[in-house]
Amino acid sequence: MNILGFCVGGTLLGCAAAVMSARSDNRLASVTLLTTMLDFSDVGEIGIMVDENYVRTREATIGQGGILPGKELAFVFATLRANDLIWSYVVNNYLRGATPDAFDLLYWNSDSVNLPGPMYCWYIRHAYLENAIKDPGRTKQCGVPVDLSAIKVSVYLLAAREDHIVPWKTAYLASNLLGGEVQFVLGASGHIAGVINPASRGKRNYWVNPKLGVEPEDWLAEAQEIPGSWWPDWDRWLKERSTGTTAAPTKLGNKTYQPIEPAPGRSVKIRTA
């Protein structure tokens, strides 16, 4: 499998890949991590919101069950860019009465997802508060000690230069933790627009430099700037690790797993309070 994780999904994927390595499970052909932190040494401005008292309060309220509402997490991220994501709408839409422009990325971003309370509490303690995931064997997941250096498959690591959620210099630190070949790429723009940058539009740019193990600033100073989307670079990278193409199935499901209902499915239509 060539498998991909985005943001916290990338952190979970890194942990899962380490668990698979500990179990001698070799089904991964490559791993792609998009705007992902594995080393939480510098989490940026969001760090001022996470301390021992906050984590203990969350553990007492939702740590044994319940959920963290997705809208609450989305509001926290919006406050990190309040001028762009909060006050501009207060001024233009509420005070001036203007109709907001259609913005596909923000519309997609507003589709927030609830998180399981116990998972969220474990994550903010072991990642943001204690930065334990990066240390070999310091956390035990799925019954095995997690060691990121045991991940020997090739990893494509993408960061975004203006990311306010995953600082790119912190994302870069993951290149020192993984045991296989790492391709680090720095894209322009922010956490979402820097990733969702279709190649067909030819917008923005990205930086590449095969020399890792140096400080982030030194890496960028010697990096080559390439115009356009990073997608073609990733496409090339994936093809080099692919065993070829497979014809799409003509029928969905199998004897064990039958199709439930037409896409997108009922779950995406459920409205949360």
* Three-state secondary structure string covering the chain: CEEEEECHHHHHHHHHHHHHHHCCCCCCCEEEEECCCCCCCCCHHHHHHCCHHHHHHHHHHCCCCCEECHHHHHHHHHHCCHHHHHHHHHHHHHHCCCCCCCCHHHHHHCCCCCEEHHHHHHHHHHHHHCCCCCCCCCCEECCEECCHHHCCCEEEEEEECCCCCCCHHHHHHHHHCCCCCEEEEEECCCCCCCCCCCHHHCCCEEEECCCCCCCHHHHHHCCEEEECCCHHHHHHHHHCCCCCCCCCCCCCCCCCCCCCCCCCCHHHHCCCC
CB 14 within 8 A of CB 36: yes
Active-site residue set: 7
63-91 b/e (C-beta count within 10 Å ≥ 16 → b): beeebbbeeebbeeebeebeeebeeeeee
Instruction: Tell me: cis bond preceding 145? Omega within 30 of 0 counts.
Output: no
